[in-house]
Amino acid sequence: MIYPIVKLGDPVLERKAGAVTEFGEELKKLVEDMFESMYAAHGIGLAAPQIGISRRLAVIDVTFKEDPEQKLVLANPEIIHREGRQKETEGCLSIPDFRENVSRAQHVRVRAQDASGRWFECTGDGLLGRAFQHEIDHLNGRLYIHHLSALKRDLMLRKIRKLQRAGEWK
Ligand code: NI
């Protein structure tokens, strides 16, 4: 099932999501649906709040279907180490048609549970490291615009409000 992506302005995106506590068939189905919804929206990462579900769950595939082994499910993820700095252009499925340079750690180590509830650790550099930080931010009610200068953020928000008023932000 493909879920519609929730856009900036919906309060679910700015709420801290609740822990995943049940690791059964329902969660596996949700994970499948999240990958399907992410690919349909041409994304490389998707957090559950972006489909209106306030749970600490995210899926990532920085290869976009190229390498199924790179598909990652992160339940209750936490960043346990960060190092270095990178500044690259970033977008978000919940803020379509906008991109901005965002400063992030270059290298992060994450601890999370998989779809079966097993804890694991993994490391991400560059794009994968960026995806980890971006998706975990979503679970804490933060969007990349919160990393921009107030000036840039206000400019973007003004443009978005204009689109909302014109009925072009759904
Ligand atoms: Ni996003």
Query: What confidence score (pLDDT) does residue 134 get?
Result: 98
pLDDT, tens digit, for every residue of 51-101?
999 999 999 999 999 999 999 999 999 999 999 999 999 999 999 999 999
C-alpha–C-alpha distance, residues 86 and 103, integer Å: 6
For residue 7, how far is its CA from the centre of ligand 1 (angstroms)?
10
Beta strands in the chain (DSSP E): 45-47, 57-60, 72-83, 86-90, 100-104, 107-113, 119-125
Position 75, amino acid: A
For residue 85, how far is its CA from the centre of ligand 1 (angstroms)?
19
Q: Say which CATH class 11-165 falls into.
A: alpha beta
Catalytic residue check, 135: yes
Select which of 14, 22, 88, 135 is catalytic: 135
For residue 150, how far is its CA from the centre of ligand 1 (angstroms)?
19
Q: Which residues of the chain have pLDDT under 70?
A: none
pTM: 0.96
C-alpha–C-alpha distance, residues 59 and 37, integer Å: 10
For residue 134, how far is its CA from the centre of ligand 1 (angstroms)?
6
For residue 138, how far is its CA from the centre of ligand 1 (angstroms)?
7
Query: What confidence score (pLDDT) does residue 135 get?
Result: 98
C-alpha–C-alpha distance, residues 79 and 41, integer Å: 26
Query: What confidence score (pLDDT) does residue 147 get?
Result: 97
